[in-house]
Amino acid sequence: MDINLDLSAIGQNPFIAAWFVLKYLGIPVFCVLFFFAGRILWLNWRQNKYSETLEYTLLAIDIPKANEQSPKAVENMFDQISGAHSSIDFIGKWWHGKFDAKFSFEIVSIDGYIQFLAWSEKKFRDLIEAAVYAQYHDAEITEIEDYTDLLPASFPDEKYNLWGAEFIETNKDVYPIQTYPFFEHSLSQEFKDPMAALMEILGSLRKNENVWIQYVVTVTDTKWTERSKNEIDKIVGRNNKSGGGFLSGIQDFFGGWISTAVDQISGKYREAKTAGSSKDTDMGVLSKLTPRELEMVKAIEAKEAKTGFIVKMRMIYFADREIYSPARGVSAVAGSFRQFAGDFNGLKPDSKLTKTKEFLFFSKLRLARRQRNITAAYKTRSNSLGAGDGFILNAEELATIYHFPIIDSVKITALKKVESKKIEPPIDLPLKEIIEEKEDKKIKDARIKKIEEEEISHEELERIMKEKKGGEPPANLPVA
């Protein structure tokens, strides 16, 4: 059957439109789809080959017993770690398979014993140690074996049951979650550590119970801030050129060109050009915003002003089937993250793609598959598996959900801490006298305060790092 090409009939008859697309655009569309699919497969192959050449290390971080540092110290750590970002050219990305540096910061509770961990390429170990020691002079960092080997090899498992999920944000990631300045009283300056609730829960786990929390952090550039600017434009009502897709872009281009030509002929272009400055226009737009819209703009601008990272957040709870209790190991832990929900954003488990849950059809098979998927993503510290490619958190947000707790706020004996600073005694001072000596409390407090307020020198930092390297794994992490 021969159908004459009548463009006016295409919009009237859907069958004619489908036939037209298939006959005249089918092959080009197929080629485009084939190109983009092949492009993704090629890049994954090259990056996997490159990843096989990298060596990684897992570091246990023990905080000082007298820690009084606020999360600001950890925010400074993340700012320093962001220096691992490097530009990757076209050849490096598409031929060598290079990708942005990634780190994994983890909080694990094994049988009720809590440990803070950092995972990275071996070449970045010095960077992590320098960032930690610059803020916590008495901290101890020890290389340990990978505890994820405790996970069952496959599911379903006869001994263990497992719940796992990725966490995602409740709103667009250009909006911030509730950060640590919010937890400080405006008048008394007393800081209520948001980590306290989580530490209490993790410290109360029983033997053969495990809760693991993972933040896979990928260092990125500042391109993400363009989305922040686009969101602000959307709120204040400016023209946003980023949306609409490819066809919309073509329409805007030709439509804008024709409109500009007509305006120039009629003289409207000159009138619009001299109507007023952009500053006056912005002030006029802002004055029309509601108080909430104005707060939204301020929140977005505050977030984009700080260093950003791409984050994949995961949580796993697994225990012996006899004591497996989601109410204790899942609900309580997930509930502790609700305190980070602010006016504009928060954190929640992703139920669509990663959360292990009961299904209506083929429940056992689908549950086991999700258990295998979440454990594989966790063990490999993947920044791509799961629900999308992650979301943006800036250094302040990241330091809010991962920081070393203030000891006065958290009374957990299972949290591994450095009991005292290790120094060499003078040659002429007997070891017995050192052990029996009791330092006056006022002198001790003044010494701690002086250490915390001093700016550590480069030479002192190098000396500390040399002393810290090596050593035995922490006694409270029974996997080394």
What's the pLDDT tens digit per position in 149-179?
A: 999 888 999 999 999 999 999 999 999 999 9
Cβ 477 vs Cβ 109: under 8 Å:
no
Q: Which of 22-31, 83-92, 381-390, 408-417 has the highest mean pLDDT?
A: 381-390
Task: Write down the pLDDT at residue 449.
Answer: 54
Let me know whether 80 and 211 are in one domain.
yes
Task: Write down the pLDDT at residue 478.
Answer: 47
pLDDT above 80: residue 298: yes
In this structure, is residue 271 part of a structural domain? no
In this structure, is residue 254 part of a structural domain? no
Task: Write down the pLDDT at residue 228.
Answer: 95
Q: How far is CA 435 from CA 11, 298, 422, 439, 467, in A?
A: 91, 55, 13, 11, 21
Let me know whether 38 and 184 are in one domain.
no
* Cα dihedral 74/450/142/436 (nearest 10): -150
Average pLDDT over residues 136-143: 92
Burial of 139 (0-12, 13-18, 19+ CB in 10 A): buried
pLDDT above 60: residue 477: no
In this structure, is residue 65 part of a structural domain? yes
Query: Dihedral sign, CA of 313, 132, 79, 93?
Result: negative
Average pLDDT over residues 303-326: 96
Residues 355, 168: Cα–Cα separation, whole Å: 11
β partners of residue 116 = 61, 107
Q: Tell which wins on pLDDT, 247 or 177.
A: 177
Let me know whether 363 and 402 are in one domain.
yes
What's this model's pTM, rounded to 2 decimal places?
0.75
Let me know whether 117 and 45 are in one domain.
no
Number of domains the chain contains:
2
Task: Write down the pLDDT at residue 476.
Answer: 47
Q: Which of 225-239, 335-349, 425-439 has the highest mean pLDDT?
A: 335-349
Print the domain residue range for 47. Answer: 12-51
Task: Write down the pLDDT at residue 198.
Answer: 93
In this structure, is residue 444 part of a structural domain? no
pLDDT above 90: residue 426: no
| pLDDT category of residue 23 using cuts at 50, 70 and 90 | low
What percent of the chain lies above the pLDDT cut of 90? 48
Q: Which residue has the tokens 């204040």?
A: 236
| pLDDT category of residue 330 using cuts at 50, 70 and 90 | very high
Average pLDDT over residues 312-316: 97
Let me know whether 34 and 165 are in one domain.
no
Let me know whether 29 and 160 are in one domain.
no
Residues 475, 91: Cα–Cα separation, whole Å: 46
Let me know whether 130 and 34 are in one domain.
no
Greatest Cα pair distance, the chain, in angstroms, is 107
**Phi-psi sector, 192: left (phi>0), alpha (psi -120 to 50), beta:** beta
Task: Write down the pLDDT at residue 271.
Answer: 46
Average pLDDT over residues 278-302: 78
Residues 246, 244: Cα–Cα separation, whole Å: 7
Let me know whether 25 and 135 are in one domain.
no
pLDDT above 60: residue 75: yes
- Give the ranges where 12-62 is alpha helix by DSSP (H): 14-20, 26-51
Phi, psi of 388 (to 5 degrees): 75, -160
Task: Pick the last residue of a domain from 396, 423, 450.
Answer: 423
pLDDT above 80: residue 424: no
Let me know whether 35 and 126 are in one domain.
no
Task: Write down the pLDDT at residue 159.
Answer: 92
Let me know whether 332 and 216 are in one domain.
yes
In this structure, is residue 148 part of a structural domain? yes
Task: Pick the last residue of a domain from 423, 441, 471.
Answer: 423
Question: Mean of the per-residue pLDDT values for the chain?
Answer: 79
In this structure, is residue 97 part of a structural domain? yes
pLDDT above 80: residue 270: no
In this structure, is residue 3 part of a structural domain? no
| pLDDT category of residue 87 using cuts at 50, 70 and 90 | confident
Task: Write down the pLDDT at residue 187.
Answer: 72
pLDDT above 90: residue 324: yes
| pLDDT category of residue 450 using cuts at 50, 70 and 90 | low
Let me know whether 73 and 19 are in one domain.
no
Task: Write down the pLDDT at residue 408.
Answer: 62
In this structure, is residue 289 part of a structural domain? no
Task: Pick the last residue of a domain from 423, 445, 467.
Answer: 423
Let me know whether 71 and 186 are in one domain.
yes
Q: What is the pLDDT of residues 42-56, one digit of tens each?
A: 888 887 888 888 899
